[in-house]
């Protein structure tokens, strides 16, 4: 065993740059003078306190004071006081790291069974409208967890990139066409970089209208990186907004309409068999009128949500950072659909209307 920090003293910045290069990654090239960054940190903390904004500021003075210092790695004390002798050089260790580097996979990821498709599902970053009272915090995506479970139950290999859950402590602000938004989670570049290159199908959850610019950015960059991988959107907004989605992005191949557990399994089966998706109930295709979605007749037969593929503990740990304190709580779906068809509600489109006796 050896440690990459063995060897002559080296600045942490240089060490991390070399380590990133073993994965063909480059560090950011943007910088800010220390005093300016510190002033920005104090200003952001003051604004968050005075305006009682949710979450944490994008930059904090305490963080600037820590990362703004020059840090040097050295094993001098270990060598002089403990008699430590390094087994190899840092350069050799970096070369070995590059040689054996593998894409980082979720701990729950399994080897792909023979004949199974590899499906990557993405939960996009969570967007909050500034000063909105409707936002109560990021919660584990139960709909996507049901879809992941259905695919896995059908024998496919499923990987999840939960852009929100994997970086709940990150908050950036930006201005959309109409309102200011906070974005919690990974950046688009980080999301796309995590998609395995041997993915057979990419599924992206798209629940709310104001998420579309973010989802479109993910779709476009994923298409540029993986031009031959089918990209499928599903969720509330993909169901109600599919025509506009096709008009605004050529990168989306189809949208799953309504309840998606059975439909996505059939989509994967047809793609594996080289069959067209035209005429498949619950699927909107470019240039083809969609066929009405199918109702999941017996919800008790659906596999339990595949929570093992999601960073649930990170959601639970951040529960106190958003809105009302709910303690350790998880979303549940006790029933589906509704016998009514209120014009302001998407339930009738997303979940096929139920009879009053269901």
pLDDT tens digit sequence for 204-241 = 999 988 888 899 999 999 999 999 999 999 998 899 88
Residue 2, in any domain of the structure: no
Looking at the 3D structure of the chain, how many domains does it have? 2
CATH of the domain at 143: 3.40.50.280
Residue 53, in any domain of the structure: yes
In angstroms, the CA 310 to CA 200 distance is 20
Residues 53 and 127 in one domain: no
Residues 295 and 148 in one domain: yes
Residues 186 and 257 in one domain: yes
Residues 232 and 312 in one domain: yes
Residue 110, in any domain of the structure: no
Residue 341, in any domain of the structure: no
Residues 46 and 125 in one domain: no
Residues 15 and 139 in one domain: no
Query: Where residue 249 falls among pLDDT bands split at 50, 70, 90?
Result: very high
Tell me the per-residue pLDDT of 259-311, one tens digit each, with 9 for 90 and over.
Answer: 889 999 999 999 999 898 998 999 999 888 888 777 777 777 888 999 999 98
| Whole-number percent of the chain with pLDDT over 90 | 30
Residue 351 has pLDDT above 60, yes or no: no
Residues 179 and 91 in one domain: no
Residue 319 has pLDDT above 70, yes or no: no
Residue 318 has pLDDT above 50, yes or no: yes
Residues 93 and 134 in one domain: no
**Contact predicate 149/310, CB 8 Å:** no
Query: Where residue 28 falls among pLDDT bands split at 50, 70, 90?
Result: low
Tell me the pTM. 0.65
**Contact predicate 121/205, CB 8 Å:** yes
Residue 65, in any domain of the structure: yes
Residues 198 and 245 in one domain: yes
Structure tokens at 123: 């939960």
Residue 293, in any domain of the structure: yes
Residues 89 and 184 in one domain: no
Residues 164 and 235 in one domain: yes
Residue 354, in any domain of the structure: no
Residue 354 has pLDDT above 80, yes or no: no
Which residue range forms the structural domain that includes residue 266?
Answer: 118-330
Residues 147 and 75 in one domain: no
In angstroms, the CA 22 to CA 8 distance is 20
Residue 28, in any domain of the structure: yes
């Amino acid at each position: 065993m050896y440690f990459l920090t063995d060897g002559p003293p080296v600045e942490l910045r240089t060490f991390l740059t070399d380590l990133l290069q073993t994965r063909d990654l480059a560090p950011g090239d943007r910088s800010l003078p220390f005093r300016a960054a510190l002033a920005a940190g104090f200003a952001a903390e003051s604004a968050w306190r005075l305006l009682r904004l949710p979450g944490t500021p994008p930059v904090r003075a305490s963080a600037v004071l820590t990362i703004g210092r020059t840090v040097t790695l050295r094993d001098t004390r270990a060598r002089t006081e403990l008699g430590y002798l390094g087994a190899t050089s840092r350069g050799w260790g970096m070369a070995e790291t590059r040689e054996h580097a593998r894409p980082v996979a979720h701990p729950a990821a399994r080897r792909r069974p023979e004949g199974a498709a590899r499906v990557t599902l993405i939960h996009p970053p969570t967007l909050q409208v500034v000063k909105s009272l409707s936002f109560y915090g990021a919660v584990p995506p139960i709909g996507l967890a049901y879809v992941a479970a259905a695919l896995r139950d059908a024998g496919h290999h499923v990987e999840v990139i939960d852009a929100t859950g994997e970086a709940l402590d990150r908050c950036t602000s930006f201005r959309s066409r109409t309102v200011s938004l906070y974005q919690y989670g990974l950046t688009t570049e980080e999301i796309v970089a995590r998609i395995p290159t041997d993915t057979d199908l990419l599924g992206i959850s798209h629940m709310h209208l104001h998420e579309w610019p973010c989802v479109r950015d993910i779709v476009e960059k994923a298409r540029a990186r993986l031009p031959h991988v089918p990209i499928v959107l599903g969720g509330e907004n993909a169901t109600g907004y599919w025509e506009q989605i096709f008009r605004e992005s050529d990168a989306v191949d189809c949208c799953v309409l309504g309840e998606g557990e059975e439909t996505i399994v059939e989509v994967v089966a047809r793609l594996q068999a080289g069959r067209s998706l035209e005429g498949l109930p619950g699927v909107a295709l470019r240039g083809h009128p969609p066929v009405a979605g199918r109702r999941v007749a017996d919800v008790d037969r659906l596999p339990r949500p595949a929570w093992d593929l999601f960073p649930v503990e990170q959601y639970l740990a951040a529960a106190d950072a958003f809105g009302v304190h709910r303690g350790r709580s998880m979303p549940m779906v006790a029933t589906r659909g509704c016998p009514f068809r209120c014009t302001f509600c998407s339930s009738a489109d997303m979940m096929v209307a139920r009879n009053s006796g269901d």
